[in-house]
Chain A
C-alpha cells in the first residue's frame, strides 16, 4: 500500500523523468527487510543506511540536490512501511545529514564530526559535482563498511563500559540487547590495551526476563553463563524486590532521543523508575548511530499508536482489538532517569547526548 502511494509521490517530483525508472523499480522496503534478515547483528538504523546506499547504487542521478531529494523520498517510503519508524528514521536522518554535509560543504564534513559516517570520509573537493561523484562511488564501494563499523562500535562500547564495571558487583539488565550482552561478556574476559592488559572483572549478573522477549533473553543468558559469568534470572515482577541486591543497571536502547532519553523495549521505563527509586545508577549502552532527532515529551508522543492500552468490557465487544497491539512494543525513558551512556566514541551524560544531537543532526 505504501509503495503505491509513494510511487505517486516520486512521479510528482519535477525533472526526474528519465532517471526515475530505476528509482521506482527499486524496492527499498524489501531491501531493508532483507538486510535485517541476512545479518541478525545489524541494527535498524544501520540497515536503513545500507538500504539507502544500495538504492544510490541503482539510481543514476547526476546532481547533488536530486540525490538528496531522492534519498528523502526513499527514507519517507521506508518510514511509512514500518509501524515503529523511530530507530530507522535515526539512520536515514544520519545518512542524509552525512550526504548534505559531504556534498554541500565538502570542507566542513571532516571537521564537524558527523558521527559514525564522516570520520572515514573522502578528501574534500571544491567542485560539488565532482565531490558528489566521489562520495557516491566511495559509498557504493564501501557499503559494507557501515555494517562492519557498527559491529566494531559494539566492541568499542565494551571497552568503554568495562571501566565502569567493578569487581564484586551485581549488574542488573534486561531485554536481550546485543550491545549489553557483548559488553558484559567482554568485561568478564581480560582486555589487551596494548600497553596494559586489563584483568577480567568478576561480577554477577541479575537478568530480568520479560516473557515477551524470552527467546532473546535466554540466548544472552546462556552465552553469558558460557563465558563463566554467574547469572541469575528473575521474572520482571521481581524487579523492585531484587533491586536492593543490585549495584548498577545496564540496558540497551533501540534509539536515543534528542534530549538524551532512550526508546527501548517495553519495560525499560519501569526498570529505570525502579532503579531511580532505589538510587541505583542506570547506564545505557548504545551506539552513536542510534542518536536522533526524535523528542517525545511523554510515552504517547509518537507518530504511531502502539495499541497497548485497550479498554473494553463484555458488554460491547466490538471495541476489542480496535487497534492491534504492536509486536515489539517500546517505551520512552526520560533522561532524568539515566546516569550515563556508553557510546562507541565515549561515555557521555544525557545532556552531552542532547548537545551532540544538535551538533550532528540539526
Chain B
C-alpha cells in the first residue's frame, strides 16, 4: 500500500483546518504496518498449521496416553463443572451453548501474547518463539489461569480474544476449525457475519469428516463429543459473536432432529445440506437483499456518512452507485483501527466522491453536511439497541441531535434475544490495547431511539421491532 493510495481519499478533503493533520501523513504508515503485520500473521499461522500438524500430534498423543478415555472424560467434566461454578454469577451466560463463551478467568491473555499482537512483525515472531514453550501444556481451558494483566474487577466479565498456540488446542479440534480459530484470534476474520459464515463452513467440514464411533448414534454423539469441542476452542480464541451463538443453537437443533434410524451417510448429507441452505438463506441472499434495500434509501444528492468500514455498508454504497445514483460519501474513521481508509480506497476506485476524516475531530461539522448515516450492526439486542464498533453510538447520537436519519443494516441472524441498555453488559476487550492502566472496548450499544430504520432481509423495520422479527423467525421454523 503506497502513501499515494492512502492520500487519494484525502484529496476530496477541502478543509485543511478541520481535517486532522496526521490523517493523511501518519496513518498510512500505520495502516501499512498493520497490513504487513496481518500478512505476516497470516503467513505465520499458515506455517504454524503446517508445522503443528506433524509435530504436536505426537506430543499430544504422548500426553494423553497416560489417561484412559474414561479418565479424560471425567477430567473434562470436572473442568467444565469448575467453569460452570465460576460462571454462576452471570446467569444468562450459563444458559445454552453460549455458556462456553465468556468465563473471565480463562480468557485473559498472557502478557507475552498481548505484546506480540501489539507490536508488529518482530514482536509477533519473537513471541511465537518465546511465548509458546513458556506456557504449560494442557487443554486450552486450563491454560491461562494466571493473568499478568489485571482488568479491574468490575470489568472482569468482559472477555478478550487471544491466540492459543495450536499445540495447546484439544486434540479433537478439527484442522479447519484450528485455522479458523487462529484467524479469529488475529482478527483476520473480523465481522460478525464473515465469522459466522467461516464457522458454518468449518463445521460443515467437521461433519463431513465425522465418523460415528461404534455403539453411538450421530444425533446423540456428535454434539457433546465433537461439536462442543470445536465451539470451546473457537470461543477460547475469541468470544463468540451473537450470530454464531444463534447459528450454533440452530445447528444443534438440526443435529438433534436427525432421525435415529437414518444411516450415517444420510444424516451427514442432510446436515451439510441444511448448512448450505442456512448459509444461502441467512447470509448470502440476506446480504444481497439488504444491500439492495439499503441502497434504495440513498438518493441523488445525498451525502452518506458512515463510520469505519463494514462490508454490508460498502456493498450498499457500491450498489447505489452502480444504479446511477449521484451521491457522495463522508467516512468518519475509527481512530484505533483505520479500516475506513480501505473503504475510501474502494469507493474512490469506483469513482465515488469521498471525504475522509481520520477521527472524530469536527464530527458535528461533518454531520451537518451529511444527509444520511449508514451503519451495519454487529448484533441487535431485543430492546432495539444496536451492538456495533465502538464509536458508533457517538456518531449516531450526533446524527440524532442534528436530525439526520440513521439507517442500520443487519442480517436477522445477528438479532439476539438478550437485552443491553449499556455498553458494558456485553463487550469485548481489544487485545491489542489492554494494559493494566487502560484498555479499550471494541463495541458499544446504540439505543434504539438513535436509529431511524433497521434494514433486514425480512424487511425494513424500526429498531425496536427487532424482537418482533425474532418472533417471526421462530414462526418460520
Q: Mark A75-102, 1 if CB is under 8 A from B, else 0.
A: 0000000000000000000000000000
Q: A258-B461, A259-B462, A293-B459 are in contact. Are A355 and B299 (CB under 8 A)?
A: no
Q: Hey, what's the 0/1 contact readout for A300-343 against B, CB within 8 Å counting as 1? A: 11010000000000000000000000000000000000000000
Cα(A33)–Cα(B453), bound, Å:
34
Q: A354 at interface (Cβ–Cβ under 8 A)?
A: yes
Knowing that A259-B461, A298-B405 are A-B contacts, what are 8 other residue pairs whose CB atoms are under 8 Å apart, sorted by A's residue number? A259-B462, A293-B459, A293-B460, A295-B459, A354-B461, A355-B468, A358-B468, A362-B459
In contact, B468 and A359 (Cβ under 8 angstroms): yes
With A301-B297, A301-B299 as known contacts, state yes or no: A355 contacts B465, CB within 8 Å: yes
Q: Are A297 and B452 in contact (CB under 8 A)?
A: yes
A359 touching B461 in the complex, CB below 8 Å, given contacts A297-B297, A297-B372: no
Partner of B459, one of A112, A258, A300, A303: A258
**Is A295 a contact of B453 with CB atoms below 8 Å?**
yes
Q: Give residues of chain A (108-138) contacting chain B, Cβ–Cβ below 8 Å.
A: 112
User: In the complex, what residues of A have CB within 8 A of residue B469's CB?
Assistant: 358, 362
Which of A300, A354, A362 makes the CB contact (< 8 A) with B472?
A362
Across the interface, do A297 and B405 meet the contact criterion of CB distance under 8 Å? yes
- A362: chain B residues within 8 A (beta carbon): 458-459, 461, 469, 472
A301 to B405, CA, bound (A): 11
Among A259, A297, A354, the residue within 8 A (CB) of B407 is A297
Contact B452 A359 (CB under 8 A): no
Which residues of A have CB within 8 Å of B465?
Answer: 354-355, 358
* B369 in the interface (beta carbon within 8 A): no
Evaluate whether A359 and B472 lie within 8 angstroms (CB atoms) in the complex, with A297-B297, A297-B453 already known: yes
**22 pairs of residues in contact across A and B, judged by CB atoms under 8 Å:** A258-B459, A258-B460, A258-B461, A258-B462, A259-B461, A293-B459, A295-B459, A297-B372, A300-B299, A301-B297, A301-B299, A303-B296, A354-B461, A354-B462, A354-B468, A355-B465, A355-B468, A358-B458, A358-B465, A361-B459, A362-B459, A362-B469
Min Cβ gap A362→B in Å is: 4
A354 to B453 alpha-carbon distance, docked (Å): 12
Shortest CB-to-CB span from B158 to chain A, Å, is 33
A294 CB to closest chain B CB (Å) equals 9
Does more than half of chain B's interface fall in helix, strand or loop, or is it mixed?
A: mixed
A109 CA / B299 CA spacing, docked (Å): 38
Chain B, residue nearest A356 (CB):
B468
Task: Write out the residue numbers on chain B whose beta carbons fall within 8 Å of the beta carbon of A355.
Answer: 465, 468
A195 to chain B, nearest CB (A): 36
> In whole angstroms, what is the CA distance A297 to B472 when docked?
23
Residues of A within 8 A of B299 (CB): 300-301
Where the two chains meet, the residues of A that have a C-beta atom closer than 8 Å to any C-beta of B are 112, 258-259, 293, 295, 297-298, 300-301, 303, 351, 354-355, 358-359, 361-362
**What is the CA–CA distance of A351 and B407 in the complex, to the nearest angstrom?**
18
Query: What is the bound-complex CA distance between A359 and B174, given in angstroms?
Result: 42
Name the A residues within 8 Å of B458 (CB-CB).
Answer: 358, 362
Nearest-neighbor residue (CB-CB) of A300 within chain B: B299
Shortest Cβ distance from residue B462 to the other chain A in the assembled complex, whole angstroms: 5
Shortest beta-carbon distance from A304 to chain B in Å: 11
Instruction: Please give the distance in Å from B140's CB to the nearest CB on chain A.
Output: 42
A237 → chain B closest CB, angstroms: 25
Q: Does B459 lie within 8 Å of A358, measured CB to CB?
A: yes
Give chain B nearest CB distance to A359 CB in angstroms. 7
CA distance A180 to B458 in the complex (A): 33
A12 to B464, CA, bound (A): 41
Tell me which residues across on chain B come within 8 A of A258, comparing CB atoms: 459-462
Nearest chain A CB to B110 CB, angstrom units: 47
A358 close to B452 (CB less than 8 A): no
**What's the Cα separation between A340 and B312 when bound, in Å?**
35
Min Cβ gap A52→B in Å is 21
Instruction: Please measure, in the bound complex, the distance between the C-alpha atom of A258 and the C-alpha atom of B405, giving whole angstroms.
Output: 16
Q: How far is the CA of A260 from the CA of B137 in the complex (A)?
A: 59
Whole-angstrom CA separation of A29 from B452 in the bound complex: 35
Complex CA distance for A86 and B462, rounded to whole angstroms:
19
Least CB distance, A338 to chain B, in whole angstroms: 14
CB distance from B49 to the nearest CB of A (A): 43
Does the CB pair A358–B461 fall under 8 Å?
A: yes
What is the CA–CA distance of A362 and B472 in the complex, to the nearest angstrom?
A: 8
A259 proximity list for chain B (CB < 8 A): 453, 461-462
Q: Which residues of B contact A358 (CB under 8 A)?
A: 458-459, 461, 465, 468-469, 472
Kindly provide the distance from the CB of B433 to the nearest chain A CB, expressed in whole angstroms: 35
**A92 CB to nearest B CB, Å:** 15
Inside 8 A of B296's CB, which chain A residues have their CB? 303
Residues of B429-477 whose CB lies within 8 A of A: 452-453, 458-462, 464-465, 468-469, 472, 475
A257 to chain B, nearest CB (A): 10
0 or 1 for each of B303-332: is its CB under 8 Å from A? (1 = yes):
000000000000000000000000000000
Among B373-432, those with CB < 8 Å from A are 405, 407
Closest A residue to B458 by CB, please name it: A362
For residue B284, give the distance in angstroms from its CB to the closest CB of chain A: 20
> Within the assembled complex, what's the spacing in Å between the Cα atoms of A112 and B461?
20
Residues of B within 8 A of A361 (CB): 459
CB distance from A216 to the nearest CB of B (A): 31
Contact with A along B337-368 (1 / 0, CB 8 A): 00000000000000000000000000000000
Task: Give CA–CA (A4, B278) in the complex, Å.
Answer: 39
Please give me the 5 A-B residue pairs with the lowest Cβ-Cβ distance, nearest first: A295-B460, A297-B405, A362-B459, A358-B468, A362-B458
In chain A, what residue has the closest Cβ to B469?
A: A358
Contacts of B461 in A (CB 8 A): 258-259, 295, 354, 358, 362
Nearest CB in chain B to that of A361: its residue: B459
CB distance from B351 to the nearest CB of A (A): 24
Q: Which residues of B contact A297 (CB under 8 A)?
A: 297, 372, 405, 407, 452-453
- Contact partners of B462 in chain A: CB under 8 A: 258-259, 354
Q: Which residues of A contact B468 (CB under 8 A)?
A: 354-355, 358-359
Q: Shortest Cβ distance from B335 into chain A, in angstroms?
A: 28
- A326-B460 Cα distance, complex, nearest whole Å: 26
CA distance A355 to B470 in the complex (A): 12
Alpha-carbon distance A358/B452, docked complex (angstroms): 17
The smallest beta-carbon distance between A77 and chain B, in angstroms, is 20
